[in-house]
Chain A
């Protein structure tokens, strides 16, 4: 009790109240520095396969010789189908799979987003494992077109060859599903949704044949044309939708088989050259974080991960001496490893940041960095809460002889020490919470408007809509502040409370988000960090005398507020989105179309975070700052009570 009451007494110490901005800044700095030291050898670890059953690279692979002729034949068959109508293509691919002795089925799908129609057809075949009881299955995916829209000639041909080849083995103890998806994002999504019966039956056909629970999925992206192309490296793509990642064991197995058994070097996050220096590790990690933060589908495997099916895409890159047979043997060995699994992949990490094909940091090491960023908002919020409960202080006298002699002092005695404290610093005034609560909750509801608009308007009007909403976003805080000032609201205390509640919510959302999607939480946290440090500048009370209005801040109230408003405008979500797309050379309409497709097809949540967490927080902060421009001096004083 004594400890609690001394802590309670401490919160009234004026020095404590000065501390939080510095503490918040410290949290942010430590959070960022924390992230920057992760690539060092002392903080990251070498990857290792922790699931014993996988035994990567322990089997001899037999995918050679005459299979090569079959592969070339299939590649020409595939090349002949490129310009054929959808039905004929599906029919032909189904026939090829059927001729290998597999059960074949097809699935039509159709999605609508941004006024476009995404439609196609999936073909898939099931190999019933000779030693399996149809309770578990692994998937081999070859999407007809890859993420860049290029026809995946050799990838599809390799899937067809492997289907024929795998069928002859008697050692499969899991079913194998060969999926030739219509495209790289919507097709696998439609298929995996229908596999788990969570599709919308109106536009997506149900699957006519199914197998057991999916244990893993491997996608092949090898767009070499009918005459082949030798590649240099394997690019392993592992990001799932909403930043979920596959179990690290799957990634490690792929790396260990490709580089250890086949001698193909592996790369990730489009780092074509990687000589394991600090800069390159950091760059890989940051690219991984941005990709995870955006949460978009990065390959045909991405749709599988939300269903707790670990999946990766193997993409061939560069000019080298590895041919399709090495890739085929890699996939064969990978499937033999997955075939060994006794239970779902669970041993290794689900939350990690990779900085090179065999170097990673796990969640325990990196999570504090995002949490520190989130905590900085909470610290300031608590400080503002305490500040809002303090009675308004008299303007600081300029010289000591002006100390009013009649200040009420209270004697506080503790542990034989007596201190005289001005009564005012002990009193807590009543907080009027209604307006702040209503304001903050309506700001968060207001975010629903852009969320709805961007996800539902057609592509043609996206550009004008984006510019209109950007302009509105920049103007709205000033308009709101002006409108509120007409009613002489919000008062000083209400302004503080608006900022307090808004920061409290941001801190809460970001710390919850950090557990789901670390990178998004970190990126939004960094972009929203200035909101912690802006403060409204209140006009001195009308009756306050000349001493108060002669300080620098009071004299330059309006220019300072305008400067803060301008600073906030720069970190506005819309401005940052525009800046980021310019920096990476992307087109804003493409980004918005992708986001809408993500919303309707993949179940992407990134825009919910942007519009319902980040945007309202920025809006509340901007209104608080803009309020100082329009604020009029107050005359009434807060009621003090015990």
Chain B
């Protein structure tokens, strides 16, 4: 009860703080959603992407590479 009251007073009571909560929530939600979606994509395509096989080719090359 005390928790819900303090949450209400902090985030929802004033329209300005409610809007701030909404925009901050949108920012966090979008970042989290993108991270989760990318993670799911990478998991479903694991082993097939360049970043998964990069070490096979990049580490082998520098022997004859003149930097």
- A-B complex is real: no
Interface residues of B (CB under 8 A from A): none
